[in-house]
Chain A
Amino acid sequence: QKEVEQDPGPLSVPEGAIVSLNCTYSNSAFQYFMWYRQYSRKGPELLMYTYSSGNKEDGRFTAQVDKSSKYISLFIRDSQPSDSATYLCAMSARDSGYSTLTFGKGTMLLVSP
């Protein structure tokens, strides 16, 4: 079983739709969770960062972490064509002075006007 599972998509939605992107993981030591957005042929950019369980909201974006289910989500409200990108989840378990991230393979989102 891979450490982080993420549906590759593509996920196609009309403009204005609510989008739900998800990742599941197997390592219960993960406690830091991130979402990155990557436009075609660009580097990933940090979108959301959460520590442990709970929700975090930033504008149209909400990140949700359920550690008991080992499941994280990113919700996008009022989706826009400019949200079309690949979304990568990432997580880490700090066990020393430094840590590395484990990434999902990314979900491609297409928002049509």
Chain B
Amino acid sequence: DVKVTQSSRYLVKRTGEKVFLECVQDMDHENMFWYRQDPGLGLRLIYFSYDVKMKEKGDIPEGYSVSREKKERFSLILESASTNQTSMYLCASTHGGAETQYFGPGTRLLVL
């Protein structure tokens, strides 16, 4: 079974803090994705990576950065957290030639 894990299920941070969200997959997938999910807005793609050290902007990259130093790990960074970044963050991964993405359990982030 594909396993995608995220470092935290729940996280509470203060405005202005730097926040790291970690995602690890154990299936040697080339592609990894970060989404946020908000009521009424659905899933929105923040960044994705199709190879180590490669990254591509998604639909809403502003206020976020990413890091992919190893194939199995993809990190999402909030340089200076703001209250409008309170959301559910979901990581996903897939093989390079495949369409179906496998999701982690999500991190529910609250920025106060």
Chain A residues packing against B (C-beta within 8 Å):
8, 32, 34, 36, 41-46, 49, 88, 90, 92, 94, 97-101, 103-106
Interface residues of B in 5-57 (CB under 8 A from A): 30-31, 33, 40-43, 45, 48, 50
Residue B73, interface by CB 8 Å? no
A90, B99: Cα distance in complex, Å = 10
**Which of A44, A98, A101 has the most chain B CB within a 10 Å cutoff?**
A98
What's the minimum C-beta distance from A104 to chain B, rounded to whole angstroms?
A: 7
The reply to whether A45 and B103 contact each other, CB–CB distance below 8 Å, is: yes
* Residues 86-104 (chain B) with a chain A CB within 8 angstroms: 90, 96, 99-104
Q: In the bound complex, do residue A49 and residue B99 qualify as a contact, i.e. CB atoms below 8 Å apart?
A: yes
B103 lies within 8 A of A88 (CB): no
Knowing that A34-B100, A42-B106, A97-B96 touch, tell me 12 more A-B residue pairs with CB under 8 angstroms. A42-B105, A43-B104, A44-B43, A94-B99, A98-B50, A98-B96, A100-B45, A101-B45, A103-B42, A104-B42, A105-B40, A105-B41
Closest to B30 in A: A98
Within 8 A of A (CB), among B64-112: 90, 96, 99-106, 108
Q: Whole-angstrom distance between the alpha carbons of A94 and B96 in the complex?
A: 11
Given contacts A44-B90, A105-B40, is CB(A100)–CB(B108) below 8 Å? no
Residue total for B at the interface (Cβ-Cβ under 8 A): 23
How far is A93 from B69 in the complex, measured between Cα atoms in Å? 28
Tally A-B pairs: CB < 8 A.
Answer: 51
Instruction: List B residues at the A interface (Cβ < 8 Å).
Output: 4, 30-31, 33, 40-43, 45, 48, 50, 58, 90, 96, 99-106, 108
Which among B31, B33, B100 has the highest number of chain A CB atoms within 10 Å? B100
The 5 closest A-B pairs by CB, nearest first: A105-B42, A43-B103, A32-B99, A98-B50, A103-B43
